[in-house]
Amino acid sequence: MLKTGGCTGFAISIFLLLTACGSDQTAEEPLRLPEREKTWVITEQVDITKDAALAPRSEAAINIPINEDLREKLMRTSGPAPKSPIKDTASCMALLEPLDQTRMFVQREGGAWSMFERSAQIKPYSDNGMQIDSNMNKLVFSLRHLCRTARGVPQNDLALKVNGIIDQMGKEKAREHFTEVVGEAPADVELWLKHAEFSRKNATRQVPYSEIQELILKTQPLIDLYKDLWDRKIDASNKDAFLSDSITLLTVIKDRLAREPRVVMAMKEDTEAPLPSRWEM
């Protein structure tokens, strides 16, 4: 059974208590990075019965063959080039938007996970569908981040304030201020200082729009296959092809996330900054 809601509460230092209840309620979180888009994809652990946990895994679920011809095609092909090359954030987002709309359509309909769940013949492999949805999100979010930050990554409030203190006092005095005057845990202070330095460097980094355009166009065939898999009606005659094609898609997306330098960079930059407390500076 999936966990879809509930109330959770936790304290971040003695100065801040964050409480969230339900997916639509926004808690008071000073200096926090904007929340990324929420999709239906599950991030919480799924309850599992004792019998299911002890049951042996199907070897077929582990050894679904990859469609090598399809993998090569996905790796080397791209979508059609735009009439005008992207030259700014607006044109970059405009090129990415149709891909993102298709992604969101599939996920509003239940995503790759539901593709597996709707057929008893492939339902045992549903965990692969969840991985496809999650990794597709990471890829599109990374492209969106690159579009928005091609000319530098704006520092968030936390980085600006920490860097401001560093500029006034120097790094060692700032560390002492946060631990001894403000009273924050040394481990948290080190995270702040590391994040502030990382943000300062990224504020002036550049990514050519031509590179981002190429990445978006290379993602088009992956999105097309994502939608194609959703459209397929599964029966005994095409079950094996569906499984092979879906695992091939997952393999290519994972490879892109792990090996494409700009995507790797974007994922690192787009991770959530350490949560600050309500400290006085």
DSSP 112-131: HHHHHHT-TTTGGGHHHHHH
* Cβ(19)–Cβ(27) below 8 Å: yes
User: Is the model's pLDDT at 237 over the cut of 60?
Assistant: yes
Task: Report the largest interatomic distance among the alpha carbons of the chain, rounded to a whole angstrom.
Answer: 70
166, 169, 193 from 173: Cα distances, Å: 8, 5, 12
List pLDDT tens digits, range 16-70: 333 334 434 433 333 333 344 444 443 333 343 434 433 434 344 457 899 999 9
pLDDT of amino acid 62: 52
DSSP type of residue 33: P
| Integer angstrom CA distances of residue 227 from 64, 120, 165, 215, 222 | 21, 20, 49, 19, 9
Q: What is the dihedral of CA 47, 48, 50, 53, to 10 degrees?
A: -140
3-state secondary structure of 99: helix
Residues 119-136, mean pLDDT to the nearest whole number: 94
SS3 of 49, please? coil
Q: What percent of the chain has pLDDT over 70?
A: 75
Query: Taking 90 as the threshold, does the pLDDT of residue 202 lie above it?
Result: yes
pLDDT tens digits, residue range 159-190? 999 999 999 999 999 999 999 998 889 999 99
Residue 8 phi/psi, 5° resolution?
-130, 145
